[in-house]
Amino acid sequence: MEYQEKRGCLLRSGRLFLHGRIERAGAREKTALVWLSLLFLTLFSGCMHIPVSSEIKIHDPLQSMQPVEQGEALVIYGENAPLQKQSIAGSYFTANCAAPSQTDTIGELIKTILMVNPQPGRFAVRPLQDLETEKSPDCSAESGDSILCRLNLSKARVASERLRYAIHVQEKFDAKIHVPLYASPFGVASCSNKTALEATVWELPTEKRLGSFSVSAEGEYTVIAYMLHLVVFRDTQKDATRRLAQEIVERATGVKAIEEKRD
Amino acid sequence: MTRRAEIQGSRIGIISIGVNILISVTKKMNNRNLLGVLGCLLVILSILLGCATDRPKDVYRGYPLGLEQPESMLAELDMGAAYEAIIDDMHYVTQAKYGSVRLPAGVHRIKWSVIFGVSVMVDARGYAAYGTISNINLEAGHRYKLLADRTFGSGYQVFFWIEDLTAGKIVYGNKKP
């Protein structure tokens, strides 16, 4: 009650002050006032980003992984979500809210695994394309479908380079446009984004498939603009990548991954 | 009254006192002075906007915890032009946080990237990232720096090189001519 009275008093005094000054001001002062208001509005225009965490779900039918030894490596490979084509008009009126925030999720996952690892230097993370893959001499017609043959890795190489687990990651990104009413610098745009990352794990020395697990992140990306752009966004790709990286680190080391952003 | 409402009430009280002072001061001014005061406030605001300082960056220790080595056995790698680096596929270092990395002497695989501002005709984002992988032998007690530069116009080229600042020589890549 007291708070409301104070607020009412403040608003009244502000209104009276403004009203009195405008009434007394001449045409020149009024023009100056308009210019000053515009200047203030310009100062406060621009973008205000409000990042919000996505809703994350984990589906986990994976067998347990034995913790990696000091100096062992994980091999990461997979497919990023295909880029969805959107027209220039579509991108404009939706403030590009349906566009993916990252195009190389596999590369980002590798960096994130290293970032959230609480014991840096304990294990290496190697992208498959960095391993010079030649035709494996171990592959025959019968064993052609084994994981080592598929990755063109020999048993000798797996042993010498201490490659412990191979993780295949498949990304799916889906965006739905809800409100395409944005025309800079005014308007509203809103899209729902969903990213699903499915990881399948193999133990390379035994060539055993341990199973797969998936992480999905979902959220609404909204832009509200009246010169000042208020962007409430859930970066589902980043959130899913981070969560998957944490899950991989926890399963591969048996130690809790770093929660907070280190960088 | 809850604690939150109390804080809000006292905040409103302070604001209303401030507004009353402002009203009494501005009533005594003519319009010209008032515009002058507003102009000064805008100038101060723009100065304050540029007050952010670059905080000193940390040193990343590129070896496992518990395997600390004496400083004399380490080499130092200055991040220089690199915005991020992955060392020996084990350590991710970003220039936003770390200015340099201390590594045990020996051969290291450094995967590093640089960012250049480019025309939007080249890349719609206004910047382009380039990366390279360097396998180099770091000597104990030496300081190295990751450096990169590019050319402009047609025949666009990016140069990556690593300089041994202690010995004063280039140990990887070619410097931009």
Report which of A1, A48, A73 is spatially closest to residue A222, judged by C-alpha positions: A48
| B12, pLDDT greater than 60 | no
Contacts of B33 (CB under 8 A, 6+ apart): none
> Regarding beta strands B84-87 and B106-117, do their DSSP bridges make them parallel or antiparallel, or are they unpaired?
antiparallel
Kindly report the number of other CB atoms within 10 A of residue A58's CB atom.
11
A125 to chain B: nearest residue by CA? B89
Q: What percent of chain B has pLDDT over 70?
A: 74
Q: A213 near A62, Cβ under 8 Å?
A: yes
Count of residues making up chain B: 177
What pLDDT, on a 0 to 100 scale, did the predictor assign at position A262? 42
Q: What is the pLDDT of residues A137-196, one digit of tens each?
A: 667 666 567 888 889 888 899 999 999 999 999 999 999 999 999 998 889 999 999 999
For A87, A118, A261, B68, the CA distances from B64, given in Å and listed in that order, are 49, 10, 20, 8
- Output the DSSP codes for B143-164: EEEEEEEE--SSS--EEEEEEE
Measure in Å the smallest separation between the Cα of A108 and chain B Cα atoms. Answer: 11
Question: Residue ranges of the alpha helices (H) in A120-200?
Answer: 147-150, 155-160
Residue A18 touches chain B, beta carbons under 8 Å: no
Q: What is the pTM of this model?
A: 0.76
Measure in Å the smallest separation between the Cα of A144 and chain B Cα atoms. Answer: 29
Q: Do residue A6 and residue B65 have CB atoms under 8 angstroms apart?
A: no
What pLDDT, on a 0 to 100 scale, did the predictor assign at position B133? 95
What pLDDT, on a 0 to 100 scale, did the predictor assign at position A44? 61
User: What are the pLDDT tens digits along chain A (263 aa)?
Assistant: 455 555 555 555 555 555 555 566 677 777 887 787 777 666 666 777 888 888 888 887 777 889 999 999 999 999 999 988 888 888 899 988 888 888 899 999 999 999 999 999 999 999 998 886 666 666 766 656 788 888 988 889 999 999 999 999 999 999 999 999 999 888 999 999 999 999 999 999 999 999 999 999 999 999 998 878 889 988 999 999 999 999 999 999 999 999 865 44
A20 to chain B: nearest residue by CA? B27
Task: At B3, give phi and psi (nearest 5°).
Answer: -60, -40
What pLDDT, on a 0 to 100 scale, did the predictor assign at position B1? 40
For A49, B50, B115, the CA distances from B53, given in Å and listed in that order, are 22, 8, 21
Kindly report the number of other CB atoms within 10 A of residue B51's CB atom.
6
Structure tokens at A95: 């403030």
- Average pLDDT of the segment spanning B31-57: 68
Report which of B75, B85, B78 is spatially closest to residue B100, judged by C-alpha positions: B78
Question: Hey, which residues does A97 pair with through a beta bridge?
Answer: none
Q: Name every chain B residue with its beta carbon within 8 A of the beta carbon of A39.
A: 42
Of residues B125 and B160, more confidently modeled: B160
What pLDDT, on a 0 to 100 scale, did the predictor assign at position A229? 85
Helix (H, G, I), strand (E, B) or coil at A47: strand
Q: B161 near B173, Cβ under 8 Å?
A: yes
Q: In chain B, what are the domain boundaries? A: 3-49, 58-173
| CA neighbours closer than 13 Å in the CB half-sphere of residue B40 | 6
| B4, pLDDT greater than 60 | no
Q: A54 near A206, Cβ under 8 Å?
A: no
Structure tokens at B7: 């804080």
Q: B172 near B106, Cβ under 8 Å?
A: no
| CA neighbours closer than 13 Å in the CB half-sphere of residue A244 | 32
Q: B143 near B76, Cβ under 8 Å?
A: yes
Contacts of B122 (CB under 8 A, 6+ apart): B128
Does this complex have an ipTM over 0.85?
A: no
Rounded-to-integer distance, Cα B92 and Cα B84, Å:
7
Q: Name every chain B residue with its beta carbon within 8 A of the beta carbon of A119.
A: 64-65
Q: B157 near B91, Cβ under 8 Å?
A: no
Name the least confident of A87-91, A103-107, B15-19, B26-30.
B15-19
B45 to chain A: nearest residue by CA? A43
